[in-house]
Structure 1
């Protein structure tokens, strides 16, 4: 078990799915958690309630990402809640979903993807750096979409490729402060957001058949990787993309 007692963590998009699992896992390991949400207030409240019922500490902050003044709104709430305390762990989890293949993606959809998936995490990190203690952790959720060709996710994969590059370059810059910067790339994961896709005939079987560990991922599978990277045990890992897909699309399974 990773001891994060005394640490404070910000998790964006923590009202459901992988983000909710990350927030509750970090709290279970001792961190006080800032639960960010965009629109799902009920989900964020449920995340905070779950943490507090288990004896942890959390508070929720609302800020819609990808719009003007999003980062300013987010950090106004964060700084009020922190009341002068520093930040130790930043997890950029919030993301917009794939917009479709190039033949149907509109400029508006494309710009929204980059605003939420690239611009927001970049400027969240920029704004967080003065609050982040030396020896802190920055972790951004990427996707296996960056290493496999899927013509329905071209623009989405481009955004995740951008944050992987961002993580590598910032790791090089921030290492002098002892701050590690990594990305985590999930694969097919069973969440409420993915439910409609996974319920389509044959989709679950297709993804499972392409995954070395022969099942869909669960949010807890990804959250446990995040907790490890946030811990002192991962102090010598930085600038990396950690695949947390169960071995999706490694090659033919015969």
Structure 2
């Protein structure tokens, strides 16, 4: 297969460039990423609809990947509980090599075709769940093997890759191929490819959570209140929804523990959820 992610950079002699030239070159390349993502919206839409349907019925979403791709999946999964108040095991990110690989590369971890499914067994993954493989190259054996086994077991599968016609995309029922072209530093897929994957992950998880009713209007009504900034945001949301004053809104928040419950139990029933 022709791997765009491995093609030579449009720039050369990087070490001879000034800092300004380096920054402007990277920024120039980064501008192409949203356009590449835009082309894949129809495919992202299909994947989101499948995920929302499965999760509405009690299913879960799993991400698997290696290196940067695995870390991005873990990042997206870890942000769903605080942002949307969902259980920590509703969206799960798994990286080749285990948690150690989040901070430090684990040698040959991505080359094992069997390990992803073994890792997924810890979560009792089943046909009610959805598995998304993330791999910039689209050739990662860990991801290919995981998707292949998931298909055999009747799961819905998707992927996020940055090359066309890759082995990973061939295994996914709902492939998303965001081809951003050569990297500023040849082969450094933590750059444009990683940015593209992050954008797609944002779109997938946010759209799914909205479809699951985890956002009201444009507000995170189910967010976890883990710091003062978020508590203040929650109070403002309650005030806006109920037209109550700050003191009453804070008391409701303290009593019921969430924006949604505070609004639902506010004394003035003229508010809007």
Structure 1 length normalisation: TM-score? 0.40
Q: Which has the higher helix share?
A: 2
State which structure, 1 or 2, has the greater radius of gyration over its C-alpha atoms: 2
Structure 2 length normalisation: TM-score? 0.38
Report 1 or 2 for greater relative contact order, CA contacts < 8 Å, sequence distance ≥ 6: 2
